Structure 1
Amino acid sequence: MFPTPIQKASPLTQKAYVILLPIALVLWLLPLIGVAITSVRPASDLAAGNYFGLPSGFAGVENYTAVFRDSPIGLYILNSFKVTIPTVIGSVALASLMGFALSVYKFRGNLVVFFMFVAGNFIPFQILMVPVRDFTLKTGLYDTTLGLVLFHIAFQTGFCTLFMRNFIRGLPFSLIEAARVEGVSEWKIFIHVVLPLMRPAIAALSVLVFTFVWNDYFWATVLVQGSHAMPVTAGLYALNGQWVAAWHLVSAGAIVAALPPVAMFFLMQRHFIAGLTLGATKG
C-alpha cells in the first residue's frame, strides 16, 4: 500500500534516487529562481529581451525600493494581514468546536453533518463566484475587508473541521470519561482537557489556512475593487505601468509578498510537522 523506503530499495534504485532528486528539486524551484533573478534584473534587460539570461547588472536595491515608493504595497500587505489573521482565528476556532462535537458526541445525523462539511470542499470555487458576489453586493459587504474575511472563514471551516475531527478522535477518550466522572462540565472538558492536546493540530491548521488565504488571488479580485481593502496578491498589478508590464517590479513585489507565509512556516515548522503526523494517521 505504501511505497518501499529508499533504504530498502535496490542499489540501482538508490543511485537513481540520488541522481534524480537534485534534478527534480531544481526543476521544481526553477520558477521561483526565475522570479528571484528577475527581481534584481535591470529594466534595460527586459527592454532588450533578456528574460532568461544572466542579468547585465544588479538592480535589487533600485527594484525593491521602487516597489515601496511607486505603489501602496505596504497598504496591500496590511490589508492581507487584516484578512488573513481574523480568518485563521475564526476558521480554526469554529473547526475546533465542531470537530470536538462530531468526534466526542454520538447523535443522529452526526455523519450527515460531517459529510456536509467534507462535501463543501469538493465544490469548485469558480461556480460560487456569481452568487457570492451578488450576495456581498446585496448585503453591503462588497469591496470590504469584512466580506473577504467572512467568505474565507466559511470556505476554510469545512477543511479545518475534517482535520480537527480526525485529530480529536485519535486522542485518548479515557481522559474525557475521567473528567466526566469527576463532574467537570463539557465546556471545561473542552477548554482544559482537549484544547491543550490540540495545540499541534491548531498550529498545523494555522499555517495551512494562513498560506491558503494569504496567497488567494481569485477572491481578492472578485470581491474587492478598491485599494483600501485589496490584498497584496491582487495589488501587485499596481506595479505594472500603463503601457509596459514592469516584470522586474512585479517579481520584486511577489518576493516581498511571499515573505510572511514563509516566515510563519519556519517559525511554526516543528508544530506543523507534529500536527500533520498525529492528525493524518487517525480517523
Structure 2
Amino acid sequence: MSTTAIRASAGTSSAGMVRTGSRPRRHYGTHIFLTVMAVMWLIPLGWSLFTALRPVASTNKYGYFSFGGDFNFDNFVQAWTQGGFARYFWNSVIITVPAVLLTLFFASMMAFAVSRVNWKFNITLLIMFTAGNLLPPQVLAAPLFEMMKHFEVPYSISDSGNMLNTYIAVITVNTAFQIGFCTFVLSNYMKALSADLTEAALVDGAGIWRQYWEIIMPLCRPAFAALGTLEVIFIYNDFFWPLLFIQSGDRLPITTAIKNLQGQFLNDYNLMAAGAIITVIPTLVIYLLLQRQFVAGLTLGSSKG
C-alpha cells in the first residue's frame, strides 16, 4: 500500500473517531431526577400562591382541592394592612443588611489569614470556625439569653438597660453563627487564587492589609455575590433568634408578622398563605437579581487548579 493511501486511511479513521467521540452524552437519569426535584420544591410555593389568590368563601364552598370560585388579590391587600408588613419588613432590613455585611467582612479577613498567610494555627483556626456551625442554635439559646440579659448598655440603646429587645443582639448572634460557614467557603476560594499575586505584591512592598484589600478582595467578588445571596436568605428567614431576643412587637422581623393574621377562634389559611407569599417575595427578588453572580460564584472556583 502506498504512503498516500495509508495517510488517507489514517485520516479517515481518525476523523471517524473524532466524530464518534464528539457526540454529547445524554444524562437522561440526571435530567429526570432534577426535574422531579424541581417540581417537588415548587409544588408548595405554587399551592400557597393558588390558595392566596382565592377568597376564603370560595374555599369553604368548593374546598381547597378545587378550582371553583373567584380569584383576586384581596388576601394580599388585607394581609399587608392587617399584618403590618411594612413595619416588620423595615425591621428585617435593619437586621439583615448589617448582619450580612459584617459576616462577609469578618469572614473575608479570617479566610485571608488562614489561606494566604503561612503561620502555625491556620488549620486549627479554620476547624474551630467551622466546628461552631455544628452546634444547634437551640443548645446555646439559654446561655446567650442570659448573656444578653446581663450585658448592660445605655438606656438610649435599650429600654431595659441590657441587650435584650435590641436589634444589636440579633445582628451579633446571626453574625457569629454565619462567620464559620462563610470563612470555610471563602478560604477554599482564596486558596485557588495564584500565590504569585501576593508574592509579587510583597516584593513591591505591599503590606498584609494592602494585599487583602486591593488584590484578594476584588478577585473574590463572585464568591461574595454567592455568599451574600445565601446569607440574605438565611438571616432574612431566621425566626428563632429574633423571637428569643426581641420582646417588643414593634421590633420583630417580617417572619413573625404572620402570627398577626391568626384569628382568635378560627384561622383564615388563605389570608395566611398570602402573608407567607409576601414574606417570600424579597428573597425571590434578590435571588433573581443576583442569579448570574450566584451561579458564577458557585462554579468559578471549581475550574481552578
Tell me the SS of whatever aligns to 1:142. coil
2:287 counterpart of 1:265: yes
Range moving further from structure 2, 225-234 or 161-170: 225-234
* Counterpart residue number, 1:3: none
Range moving further from structure 2, 72-81 or 19-28: 19-28
Is the 8 Å Cα contact of residues 169 and 282 (structure 1) preserved in structure 2?
A: no
Range moving further from structure 2, 165-174 or 62-71: 62-71
* Counterpart residue number, 1:4: none
Is the 8 Å Cα contact of residues 222 and 293 (structure 2) preserved in structure 1?
A: yes
Matches within 5 A, 1:45-194: 45-48=58-61, 50-60=63-73, 62-139=74-151, 140-194=162-216
- Report the Cα distance in structure 1 between the residues aligned to 2:58 and 2:79, rounded to whole angstroms: 18
Change (3 A) 1:226 1:151: same
Q: Which amino acid aligns with 2:205?
A: G
Is the 8 Å Cα contact of residues 62 and 68 (structure 2) preserved in structure 1?
A: no
* Counterpart residue number, 1:33: 46
* Counterpart residue number, 2:25: 8
Change (3 A) 1:24 1:175: closer
* Counterpart residue number, 2:6: none
- Report the Cα distance in structure 2 between the residues aligned to 1:268 and 1:214, rounded to whole angstroms: 16
Identity %: 33
Q: Which amino acid aligns with 1:34?
A: W
Q: 1:192-222 deviations in whole A, cap 9, x for unaligned?
A: 1111101111111100100001111222322
From the CA coordinates, give the structure whose radius of gyration is larger: 2
Is the 8 Å Cα contact of residues 168 and 198 (structure 1) preserved in structure 2?
A: yes
Q: Which amino acid aligns with 2:149?
A: L
Change (3 A) 1:17 1:114: closer
The Cα of 1:170 is off from its aligned counterpart by: 0.6
Range moving further from structure 2, 66-75 or 79-88: 66-75
Is the 8 Å Cα contact of residues 67 and 252 (structure 1) preserved in structure 2?
A: yes
The Cα of 1:278 is off from its aligned counterpart by: 2.6
* Counterpart residue number, 1:229: 251
Q: 1:53-101 deviations in whole A, cap 9, x for unaligned?
A: 22511132x1111112212111111111111100110000001111011
Report the TM-score when normalising by structure 1.
Answer: 0.89
The Cα of 1:8 is off from its aligned counterpart by: 2.7
Alignment RMSD (CA, Å): 2.0
* Counterpart residue number, 1:250: 272
2:61 counterpart of 1:44: no
Q: Which amino acid aligns with 1:44?
A: A
Report the TM-score when normalising by structure 2.
Answer: 0.83
Q: Which amino acid aligns with 1:158?
A: G
Change (3 A) 1:241 1:280: farther
Q: 1:220-274 deviations in whole A, cap 9, x for unaligned?
A: 3222232221111112111112221121121111111111111111111111111
Q: Which amino acid aligns with 1:133?
A: F
- Report the Cα distance in structure 2 between the residues aligned to 1:18 and 1:164, rounded to whole angstroms: 30
The Cα of 1:281 is off from its aligned counterpart by: 6.2
The Cα of 1:45 is off from its aligned counterpart by: 3.5
Range moving further from structure 2, 246-255 or 23-32: 23-32
What number of residue pairs does the alignment pair up? 272
Q: Which amino acid aligns with 2:25?
A: K
2:221 counterpart of 1:199: yes
Change (3 A) 1:92 1:280: farther
- Report the Cα distance in structure 2 between the residues aligned to 1:19 and 1:94, rounded to whole angstroms: 41
Is the 8 Å Cα contact of residues 254 and 279 (structure 2) preserved in structure 1?
A: yes
Change (3 A) 1:266 1:185: same
Unmatched 5+ residue regions in structure 1?
A: 1-6
Q: Which amino acid aligns with 1:67?
A: A
- Report the Cα distance in structure 2 between the residues aligned to 1:57 and 1:95, rounded to whole angstroms: 50
Q: 1:22-49 deviations in whole A, cap 9, x for unaligned?
A: 4443332111111101111111244457
Q: Which amino acid aligns with 1:205?
A: L
